[in-house]
Structure 1
Amino acid sequence: MEKFTLSIAVLVFAFLVGCSQKENSQKANNPAKESTTQIDASVESPEKSATERLNELVNKQFTIQADQISNNDYASIEEIGKAFVNLYTGAVAEQEAVSFEHYIANENLLTFTNKMLTLEQQQELKGGIGVNFGMDNEFKEVELKKLDDNLYYLRLTFTNQGSGMSCKLLVQSVNKSLKIVDLYFGNKDGVDTMATGHPSEKKLDNPKLWDDQKWMKGVMEKLEKYETELNSNS
């Protein structure tokens, strides 16, 4: 019995020694692979630049399965709102030109948003804004309200470097993609506050507002006047 046990032990030892030798042989035959693996594990990916992060936000798209928004799309509505806020406020802080075409389909609203960004970037350079813009916003509260079968009101409150802000949005689906059809930050010194109304006056419930050419003309006239004043104080 002792001889049998000893024989088993010898066989197990020989098997383990053989496996170890095989593994060492594989490492010797392919040292570069082992070295590469160790390097890959030890080297961290470089941190993305602000421009790269903004470009990622620019290229985001927000699709839904059906023609109309359903309960299953609530997370996507929140996602497009937060992405838009980070893109806009990040573009102001970084003084970058960005595209909102994946977020806004209405040409008039897109024109207004682009102009608002340009003017708030000028304000930021002059130190004339009472809030801290940035891309790393901390979102606090989310309010989502259904206004119609395909129209939702979204209000986001957020902070950046201790500065509290909010953004109100109207979101609906266009060809199975979520789009912003109206927006409002309403900051005290904000361009949209000056051009589209005080928070107590500005309502977000009309998805056709920016199709109203009279409304658009009045808003753009206010923006032109404000731009003239801003440049004259340079």
Structure 2
Amino acid sequence: MKNWLNQHTLAMQLVLQRLKAHWLNTLTICMVIGITVTLPGLLFVGVDNLQDASRSIKQDAQMSAFLKPALNGNVIQRLINDVQALPQVKEVRYVPKEEAIKQLGQQFLQKDLLADLPQNPLPDALFITLADTQPNTAKPVQEMLQARDEVEELVVDSVWIERLNSMLVLGKRIALIFACLLGIAMVTVISNTVRMQVLTHETEIEVSRLIGATHSFIRRPFLYMGSVYGLGG
């Protein structure tokens, strides 16, 4: 056991001497490995932060349900209660057609522009704010409203949500591919560096073989050197 520990200690001391003698090369290789590991990590963190930010934008995830004309107030209230009972819904705001045309009239410079209309052309409407911006959140609410007879038209403001989520998924896949490519590059750099060390000490290796050194004894310093490069990076 003591002999085994002495062999490993001697190998580590030899590696440290070689690294110290070529400290600039050692520093450069460690920096390359560190940058290679850091870049995909930063990309993953950026994508995750964007995903968290997209979940916090809840006030823009809305649906607009335009109701059929001449509905009873009790029917409308029952529809509002049913929509509010859904776990995907955060808020339901009912806008009667009288209030809608009043708000529309306030947007015109000529206040009496809508006064000549024979009747109010706007329908009663429900503006539904969803709990989050995930596409799966909007689907059950959309299906429920489309199945109700009280709803004449449904406008779903979720196209941008689906596009945003698709872009985030694509970003994660790109980050994963980028990490794999950089990982292959990192392994290649370490392998080539160790191979160059082997070629540099080829004469020393031949002498060690002549005096009876085992293959594990010869390989051990180079394995430690590759490990130090990896840990240093």
Give the structure-1-normalised TM-score: 0.20
More strand, by proportion: 1
Give the structure-2-normalised TM-score: 0.21
Greater relative contact order (Cα 8 A, min sep 6): structure 1 or 2? Answer: 2
Q: Which of 1 and 2 has greater Rg?
A: 2
